[in-house]
Amino acid sequence: MIKHIVLFKLKDAAPSSIERTVQVLRGLEGKVEQLRSLEVGTDVIRSERSYDIALIATFDSLDDLEGYQVHPEHKKVIEHMSEVRESQVAVDFEF
């Protein structure tokens, strides 16, 4: 199995902006057949080093993760994130 973790820092960290983006990310659930599980949460510490949003997704295989990357619903989310994110970091690992 593959765990896909992405942290996002938004250009606008206002609560309404964060919540809007959380809803966009959560909108992937049930629309991408390769996605086994999806968790999206917001930072509660709000420190200088914190990112605003975390996404944790689980896939059965690396092939499924690659299929997710090019899925039309994921591409819509990428468009949104390209507009609102300041930065992001990611890690993908087998477990």
Cα–Cα distance for residue pair 18/8, rounded to 1 Å: 10
Tell me what pLDDT residue 7 has: 98
User: Which element (helix H / strand E) includes 77?
Assistant: helix 72-84
pTM of the model: 0.95
Tell me what pLDDT residue 2 has: 98
Tell me what pLDDT residue 54 has: 98
Tell me what pLDDT residue 74 has: 98
Residue type for position 52: D
Positions of the chain with pLDDT under 70: none
Q: Which domains are delineated in the chain?
A: 2-94 (3.30.70.100)
Instruction: Provide the sign of the torsion angle of the four alpha carbons 55, 7, 32, 67, taken in this order.
Output: negative
- Radius of gyration for the chain, computed over Cα atoms and rounded to the nearest angstrom: 13
